[in-house]
Amino acid sequence: MVQGSTDAADEKARPEVAVEIAGLNKWFGEFHVLRDINLNVARGERIVICGPSGSGKSTLLRCINHLEDWQTGRIVVDGIELNDDPRQIVAVRRDVGMVFQHFNLFPHLTVLENCTLAPIWVRQMPKRDAEAVAMKYLERVRIPEQAEKYPARLSGGQQQRVAIARALCMNPNIMLFDEPTSALDPEMVKEVLDTMVGLASDGITMLVVSHEMGFARQVADRVMFMADGQILEINEPKAFFAHPQHERTRLFLQQILH
């Protein structure tokens, strides 16, 4: 009873908007990489972001967990306003998981240690509990038998699944994926995408930079097209693919679908 009521309170405390980005502008020196970005991501929403190389997709994603700083605008993640306060930044990062194009696993730690590092040092979990959580997620991504190996021994697809498990071990509300399959050999793309489809069905909020349009059609609530640091178009997948509003979107889709 008591348990139930606190859960309900938690639910209420969490805002319906998972990520709120308003008037975001960022420059790398003279280069205006993000131009007046406005985006609200609802809780549980899954957004796939596509666009030509250099359009600022990675940069936008990296602003959400403050791996990049920005000049103007605000970002609120799970009700926490991101500013220069390190405590706010850590609070957001505990809540936001990120998966990188090149996995970025820690080569000097085993798969299991990769997964338990943050739960132990950030969530202050007892080692045994952290290992239990890690094994749960390694089973989720279907590689529990690799737990004691070092990452370099694994295939690319396996490494990326470990990276996903590592992020999930922090029990995040929001997951960011930056081209998670584009460094993989074609035959490994599917195993990673399947894992992500599984995640999507759990109702976790996801922002995915990807050019896997099949995946976008299958799981995205909205698909977003970026060019020159701007959001040119954002729409439900059906409409997005059937009736792109912009000429550039049309050209881009033509290029990657053929």
Partner 1 sequence: MADIARSSAARPSRRHARNIGNLALQVALVAIVLGLIAAAAHNAAVNMAKANIAHGFGFWNNTAGFDISQALVGYSASASTFGRAFWVGLLNTLLVSAVAIVLSTALGFIIGIARLSHNWLVSRLAGGYVELIRNIPLLLQILFWYNAVLKSLPELKGSVTLPFGGFLNNRGLFLPKPVFAPDFSAVVIALAIGVACALALRIWARRRQERTGEQVYLLGPTLALIVGLPFIVFLVAGKPLTFGIPDMGRFNIRGGLEILPEFAALLIALSVYTAAFIAEVVRAGVLAVPAGQTEAAQALGLRSTTTLRLVVVPQAMRMIVPPLTSQYLNLTKNSSLAVAIGYPDLVQVFAGSVLNITGQAVEVIAITMAVYLSISLVTSLLMSLYGRMVAVVER
Ligand X SMILES: Nc1ncnc2c1ncn2[C@@H]1O[C@H](COP(=O)(O)OP(=O)(O)OP(=O)(O)O)[C@@H](O)[C@H]1O
**Contacts with ligand X, residue ranges (CB under 6 A):** 28, 31, 33, 51, 53-59
- Closest contact distance (angstroms) between CB of 217 and partner 1 is 28
State which of residues 22, 23, 81, 106 lies at the interface with partner 1 (CB under 8 A).
106
Burial of 245 (0-12, 13-18, 19+ CB in 10 A): middle
Site for Mg ion in 84-113 (CB under 5 A): none
Q: Is 84 in the site for partner 1 (CB under 8 A)?
A: no
Opening angle at CA 56, ends 19 and 172, nearest 5: 30
Q: Is 60 in the site for partner 1 (CB under 8 A)?
A: no
- Closest contact distance (angstroms) between CB of 86 and partner 1 is 8
Out of Mg ion, partner 1, ligand X, none, what residue 53 binds, judged by CB under 5 to 8 A for its kind, is ligand X
Whole-number Å distance between alpha carbons of 196 and 219: 9
- Closest contact distance (angstroms) between CB of 140 and partner 1 is 18
100 SS3 class: coil
Span interacting with partner 1, options 19-27, 32-40, 120-128, 228-236, rule CB under 8 A: 120-128
Q: Is 55 in the site for Mg ion (CB under 5 A)?
A: no
- Closest contact distance (angstroms) between CB of 246 and partner 1 is 32
Q: Is 96 in the site for partner 1 (CB under 8 A)?
A: yes
Q: What is the DSSP string of 18-80?
A: EEEEEEEEEEETTEEEEEEEEEEEETT-EEEEE--TTSSHHHHHHHHTTSS--SEEEEEETTE
Whole-number Å distance between alpha carbons of 153 and 246: 45
Q: Is 4 in the site for partner 1 (CB under 8 A)?
A: no
227 SS3 class: strand
Q: Which of 27, 25, 42, 33 is nearest to 234 (CA)?
A: 42
Q: Residue 130: enclosing H or E segment and its boundaries?
A: helix 127-140
By CB under 5 A, name the binding residues for Mg ion. 58
By CB under 8 A, name the binding residues for partner 1. 65, 67, 86, 90, 93-94, 96-98, 100, 102, 104-109, 117-118, 120-130, 149-150, 152-153, 166-167, 170
